[in-house]
Structures are given as structure tokens and as C-alpha cells.
Amino acid sequence: MNYRHAYHAGNFADVLKHAVLLGTLESLLQKPAPLMYLDTHAGRGVYDLASESSRKTGEHHGGIDRLLEAQGLPPLLRRYIDAVRACNVEPRVRHYPGSPWLALHVLRAQDRAVLCEVQPDEVAALRTVFAGDGRAHVHQRDGYEALPALVPPSERRGLVLIDPPFEAQEEEFKRIQRALAAALSRWPRGVYAVWYPIKLTRTREPFWRWLRGCNATSVLAAELAVRDETSPLRLNGCGMVLLNPPWKLDQALAAALPTAARLLGEDGRGSWRLQWIKRELCDPRPGT
């Protein structure tokens, strides 16, 4: 496996993923009961935007950099930018926080984070970043194999983020489906967030079809495209699906996505979509 997230940290896909992640966690954290955050593909925790890998692609220029300069951001994007700034000592943003850092930034003393990663150097970096933080548990372990083994959490509340490298697209969707099916059979009411790339929109159709039939109560998709689908080889957009999303998250996303598409779109060609893939309008109560 060759994938290294350092080449892509802070790009438009990270912006969507991390803003949605923060919004979801913030909603769940409105209740005082403890929760578990499980990151099946954690990466290294923090990325240096001045590193050789990051400078080689410069992807953050079309992502986080565009939001850092923007005024009048909607609340969800403003809080995301504040979190990115909090990862930096200097006013200039040089360090970009990955999903584990952002999660632990908002988690409370009573919560815990389980971070799975397979690359030894990424695992070592994670251990350094979170040394001394008793809420963070780093596992050098296949996240797909860990997921069904770790749910339901003892807290019975929490969020699972599945953010794989997608080196082989079709196969990755299949692995996600297998892991989600096993996890949902053990924890159908868990909240799950899955990031996926969009080169051609139609390639995610089999995944959406599977989601319609899965045993989560509701499934919401938030998608962002930065250009028209002129090439099937480029990352033209990306999406996050949320299984059993917290109440009103859709409203926060509806307020944030148009601005994200306007700021991140190339030559004004950004677009967005927020769609319920599956929705039960009333929650069945016990005994009904």
C-alpha cells in the first residue's frame, strides 16, 4: 500500500470530511453521557503543510487555504476553521489537523477515542501526537477488522469514521459494505460516517443502493464537487454518508455546503448535494 495522506492533507476533500466530522461530533456532544469515537483509518494525526510531500502537490491551496481567507463563513465552517487554527501556535496555519486531532479537540474528559492505523510510521506519529492524553487509544490494527470487534461500545453512544485510502475504488466500497454490515448487525443505532471519492458520480450508485437496504434507520449524504466531471481519472468531488445522523445535522450542513462549494469550486464550477438516501420519519418507540 502506497497511500500517504500527507500528500493530500487540507485539500477540498479534507475540508468536507472534517467539517462534517466536527458538526456530527458537536451534535452528539450536546448530551452529557460519555461516548466513543472510533477512527478506522486514522492517518498520522497532524500534517505539516511545509513538508516536502505537502509542497509537492500543494493540494491545500485549493482547500483549507481558501477558507482561511474567507469572511462571513456559516457557523459550521467557522468552527472548523477555529479548530484548524487551534492546532497551530503561530497565526499562520502550518499544521493541518487530521480526523483524530479534530475529534480529540472537541471530546470531553469522559469520552474516549480509538484510533486504528496500519502504517507503522503513521502509528508512531499518532502515538507522539497523543502521548499523555489518556482519552486516546492508538491501535496498530486493520480498521475493518477492528470495527465489528469494537462495537457496540460500552458507552452505547458514539461515532465511527471510516476514511480509507480508496486505492482500488470498487474493492474499497465492497470492504466498507462488509465492515458496515457486520458492525450494524451488532450496533444498528450507532452513528457511522463514511468518506468516499467521486470521479464519476455513477460509480457510487451501487454503494448508495446498498445503503438504502442496510439496517440503519436513516442515511444522509453530503457531497461536494469542485469541477464538472470532465475526467474519470481526477478527484472531481467527494462525499460523506452518515448513517443514523444526529438530529438537525442536515440543517447545519444545508447552511454550510453552498459556501463550501462557492469557495472551493474551480472557476466557479463548484456544486453540492445534500440528500436523504434513506429516511424514517418517525422513530419507532418500544412497544409500538
Ligand X SMILES: C[S@@+](CC[C@H](N)C(=O)[O-])C[C@H]1O[C@@H](n2cnc3c(N)ncnc32)[C@H](O)[C@@H]1O
**Residues involved in catalysis:** 163
Q: Which three cell numbers stand for residue 36?
A: 466513543
Tell me if the bond preceding 164 is cis, omega within 30° of 0.
Answer: no
- The phi and psi torsions of 196 (rounded to 5 degrees) equal -145, 150
Query: Interface with ligand X by CB under 6 A: which range of 35-43, 57-65, 103-111, 258-266?
Result: 35-43
Query: Interface with ligand X by CB under 6 A: which range of 39-47, 80-88, 204-212, 215-223?
Result: 39-47
240 forms beta bridges with 195, 222
Using CB under 6 A as the binding rule, whether residue 142 contacts ligand X is answered as yes
- The phi and psi torsions of 101 (rounded to 5 degrees) equal -65, -45
Among 24, 54, 99, 236, binds ligand X (CB under 6 A): 99
Shortest reach from residue 8's CB to ligand X, in Å: 7
E strands, 67-157, are 95-97, 112-117, 136-140
Q: Which residues of 226-259 are buried (b: 16+ CB within 10 A; e: fewer)?
A: bbeeeeeeebbbbbbbbbbbbeebbebbeebbeb
222 forms beta bridges with 240, 274
CB neighbours of residue 63 within 10 Å: 24
Among 12, 37, 130, 144, binds ligand X (CB under 6 A): 144
Using CB under 6 A as the binding rule, whether residue 118 contacts ligand X is answered as yes
Among 20, 28, 41, 147, binds ligand X (CB under 6 A): 41
CB closer to ligand X, 87 vs 261: 87
Shortest reach from residue 163's CB to ligand X, in Å: 4
Shortest reach from residue 123's CB to ligand X, in Å: 9
Using CB under 6 A as the binding rule, whether residue 143 contacts ligand X is answered as yes
- The phi and psi torsions of 44 (rounded to 5 degrees) equal -105, 0
Shortest reach from residue 100's CB to ligand X, in Å: 7
Using CB under 6 A as the binding rule, whether residue 265 contacts ligand X is answered as no
Using CB under 6 A as the binding rule, whether residue 22 contacts ligand X is answered as no
Name residue 89's amino acid: V
Which residue's CB comes closest to ligand X? 98
Using CB under 6 A as the binding rule, whether residue 139 contacts ligand X is answered as no
CB closer to ligand X, 73 vs 118: 118
Please answer whether residues 226 and 12 qualify as being in contact, where contact means their C-beta atoms are separated by less than 8 angstroms: yes
Q: Which residues form the interface with ligand X (CB under 6 A)?
A: 1, 3, 5, 17, 39-43, 98-99, 116-119, 122, 142-144, 163-165
